[in-house]
């Protein structure tokens, strides 16, 4: 009965995946190079993966699991770029600059709060100096400076900048620059239609026929090379499409709970590195599902899965204990904004606590320059908060007693759904190769999305600081180097 139910799931997912694969994306106007067939295979792959879990007591108790399973993360790996996670980090740490590396690692540049206070002091001092200079520049009538202006000037001397009112106020004419014997093509040809009847230029006009402005524009446009279409971004988290309807049906008709549902594009000839799909190395709470997946391309495409589900070991004897599995390598790296050196967790926690104290100080209506205690010279209210409020700190205690592990590698044909059958962990995956037309369509959509996000970011920056230029308009020499 169970095998028949699994077969029905496979048939349902396969049918839905074939229907979804036949649907064309919304067309976007793009210029496909003449040498490229938009209907030809591009080598770009769309891969979708889902992990479902059924950890009911009767299910986990129906099998005899290895008491001491072992697993580890690969040394070389990559992460998927998750736009939602990046947005969450930007909101959670507004003082931090969030940067994504090519392998999916996230670098967070955290400034030193002392620099903010020093800058506030310098700005306040500059305002005071400017006000003092403006006050001293305004002299009362009858002052010594005014009396000196009433003294008669010696004969033959005139004040600097004085002009004779009887002379013409017209500007002095510039000296004429001698023209070359033969005019340049760029400056002479466009005047020829207007000087055809001129007797002095009749010989030149007869030797050089006039040229139409429209023809020149057409030639210039033909000489300008057409930029190649934009390619999409590899290894960016996308919503599932091929498996979406099948997963919804499984959620309604089975007790399995969906834990992971993701998709991504993979460019041809990229390194087949394992992709870690959990953030146990960054989160304070230990996730119950951990693991990674590896796509191996070649004559056939193979998918290798390695996942484990942490449990309370209620199916094992009382008092059973085993060593915890490893945490994933950290995806987020904290660095100092100025020196770019890595920051240890205590330093990050202290800076975050300081920023929260500064925000509370400003909320009370107090100026930032008064945040430093003049008697001690140190920041006020610098007690670090508990680790449960610092999401970047890790928990050293494994809250589970056992984990159920599955590791397998299967060949997956294009357009088919591969189901890794397991009593607790159900892994479903599929893939398809994109045509060049589909690749360029996705790339154009990504470009429109980036331009829209950039416009929104510039608008927010302009609203927050009306006198500052957007980052895109700041000269490169004035931008901070990262």
How far, in Å, are 46, 140, 144, 405 from residue 439 at the CA level? 10, 74, 78, 36
Q: How far apart are CA 60 and CA 71, in angstroms?
A: 19
183 pLDDT tier (thresholds 50, 70, 90): very low
pLDDT number for residue 402: 96
Lowest mean per-residue pLDDT among 184-198, 208-222, 419-433: 184-198
Rounded CA separation 251/243 (Å): 12
Phi, psi of 36 (to 5 degrees): -115, 130
What confidence score (pLDDT) does residue 282 get?
92
Which of 33-42, 72-81, 101-110 shows the lowest mean pLDDT across its residues? 33-42
Q: Once rounded to an integer, what is the mean pLDDT over residues 52-71?
A: 94
**pLDDT at res. 369:** 63
Torsion of CA 56, 58, 59, 60, to 10 degrees: 90
Name the most confidently modeled range: 9-18, 396-405, 445-454. 396-405
Residue with the bigger pLDDT between 303 and 2: it is: 303
Percentage of the chain modeled with pLDDT above 90: 43
| Predicted confidence (pLDDT) at residue 193 exceeds the cutoff of 60 | no
Beta strands in 159-301 (DSSP E): 257-266, 275-276, 289-296
Of 90-104, 167-181, 466-480, the range with the lowest mean pLDDT is 167-181
186-225 burial, b at 16+ Cβ within 10 Å, e below that, comes to eeebeebeeeeeeeeeeeebeeeeeeeeeeeeeeeeeeee
Q: What is the pLDDT of residue 27?
A: 60
Q: pLDDT at position 116, please?
A: 74
The token duo for 325 is: 């599995």
Find the mean pLDDT for residues 111-119.
Answer: 79
How would you class 380 by CB atoms within 10 Å of its CB: exposed for 0-12, middle for 13-18, buried for 19 or more?
middle
pLDDT of residue 182: 43
Spell out the residues 6+ positions from residue 25 whose beta carbon is closer than 8 angstroms to its own.
438, 441, 442, 445
More confident residue, 357 or 4: 357
pLDDT value, residue 98? 95
What proportion of the chain, given as a percentage, has pLDDT over 70?
65
pLDDT of amino acid 456: 80
- When pLDDT is averaged across residues 339-351 and rounded to a whole number, the result is 92
Residue-wise pLDDT tens digits, 225-280:
677 888 999 999 999 999 999 999 988 899 999 999 999 999 998 999 999 999 99
**Which of 20-24, 183-187, 316-320 has the highest mean predicted lDDT (pLDDT)?**
316-320
Specify the DSSP element, H or E, that contains 299: none
Give me the sign of the Cα torsion angle 211, 215, 221, 223: negative
Q: Is the pLDDT of residue 479 over 80?
A: no
What's the rounded Cα separation, in Å, for the pair 404 and 54? 12
Confidence at residue 78, expressed as pLDDT on a 0 to 100 scale = 97
Does residue 435 have a pLDDT over 50?
Answer: yes
Q: In whole numbers, what is the pLDDT of the chain averaged over residues?
A: 76
Per-residue pLDDT at 436: 93
Q: What is the pLDDT of residue 385?
A: 44
pLDDT band at 478 (very low <50, low <70, confident <90, very high): very low
**Least confidently predicted of 102-106, 235-239, 281-285:** 281-285
More confident residue, 5 or 252: 252
Instruction: Give mean pLDDT, residues 186-192.
Output: 43
Look at the alpha carbons of 308, 312, 313, 319 in this order and tell me if their dihedral is positive or negative. positive
pLDDT in the model for residue 217: 55
Q: What is the pLDDT of residues 137-147, one digit of tens each?
A: 765 554 444 44
Sheet with 289-296: strands ordered across: 275-276, 289-296, 302-311, 402-411
Distance of CA 9 to the CA centre of its chain: 37
Confidence band, pLDDT 50/70/90 cuts, at residue 5: low
* Across 5-14, 128-137, 291-300, 311-320, least confident range: 5-14
Question: How many angstroms separate the CA atoms of 137 and 406, rounded?
Answer: 80
Q: How is residue 83 written in tokens?
A: 């736009």
pLDDT class for 57, splitting at 50, 70, 90?
A: very high
Q: pTM for the full model? A: 0.68
pLDDT band at 190, cuts 50/70/90? very low
pLDDT tier, 344 (very low <50, low <70, confident <90, very high otherwise): very high
């Amino acid at each position: 009965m169970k095998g028949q139910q699994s077969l029905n799931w496979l048939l349902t997912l396969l049918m839905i995946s074939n229907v979804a694969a036949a649907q064309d994306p919304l067309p976007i106007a793009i210029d496909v190079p003449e040498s490229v067939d938009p209907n030809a295979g591009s080598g770009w792959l769309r891969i979708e993966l889902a992990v479902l879990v059924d950890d009911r007591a009767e299910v986990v108790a129906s099998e005899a699991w290895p008491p001491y399973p072992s697993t580890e993360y690969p040394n070389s790996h990559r992460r998927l770029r998750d736009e939602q996670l990046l947005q969450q980090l930007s909101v959670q740490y507004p003082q931090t600059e969030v940067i994504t590396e090519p392998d999916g690692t996230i670098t967070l540049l955290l400034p030193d709060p002392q620099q903010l206070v020093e800058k506030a002091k310098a700005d306040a001092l500059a305002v005071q100096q400017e006000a003092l200079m403006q006050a001293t520049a305004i002299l009362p009538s009858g002052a010594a400076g005014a009396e000196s202006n009433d003294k008669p000037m010696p004969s033959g001397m005139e004040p600097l900048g004085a002009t004779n009112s009887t002379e013409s106020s017209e500007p002095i004419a510039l000296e004429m620059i001698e023209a070359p014997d033969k005019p340049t093509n760029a400056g002479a040809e466009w005047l020829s239609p207007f000087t055809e009847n001129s007797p002095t230029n009749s010989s030149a006009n007869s030797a050089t026929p006039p040229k139409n402005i429209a023809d020149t524009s057409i030639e210039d446009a033909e000489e300008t090379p057409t930029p190649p279409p934009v390619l999409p971004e590899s290894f960016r988290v996308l919503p599932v499409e091929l498996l979406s309807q099948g997963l919804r049906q499984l959620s309604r008709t089975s007790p399995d709970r969906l834990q992971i549902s993701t998709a991504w594009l993979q460019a041809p000839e990229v390194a087949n590195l394992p992709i870690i799909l959990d953030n146990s190395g960054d989160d304070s709470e230990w996730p119950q599902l951990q693991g990674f997946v590896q796509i191996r391309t070649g004559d056939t495409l193979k998918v290798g899965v390695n996942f484990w589900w942490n449990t309370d070991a209620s199916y094992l004897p009382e008092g059973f204990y085993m060593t915890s599995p490893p945490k994933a390598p950290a995806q987020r790296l904290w660095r100092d904004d100025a020196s770019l050196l890595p920051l240890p967790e205590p330093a990050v926690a202290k800076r975050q606590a300081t920023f929260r104290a500064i925000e509370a100080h400003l909320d009370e209506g107090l100026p930032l320059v008064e945040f430093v205690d003049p008697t001690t010279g140190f920041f006020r209210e610098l007690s670090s908060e508990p680790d449960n409020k610092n999401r970047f700190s890790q928990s050293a205690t494994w809250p589970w007693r056992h984990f159920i592990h599955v590791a397998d590698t299967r060949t997956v044909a294009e357009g088919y759904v591969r189901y890794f059958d397991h009593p607790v962990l159900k892994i479903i995956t599929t893939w398809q190769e994109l045509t060049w037309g589909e690749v360029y369509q996705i790339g154009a959509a990504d470009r429109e999305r980036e331009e829209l996000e950039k416009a929104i970011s510039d608008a927010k920056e302009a609203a927050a600081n009306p006198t500052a230029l957007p980052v895109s308009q700041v000269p490169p020499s004035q931008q901070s180097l990262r």
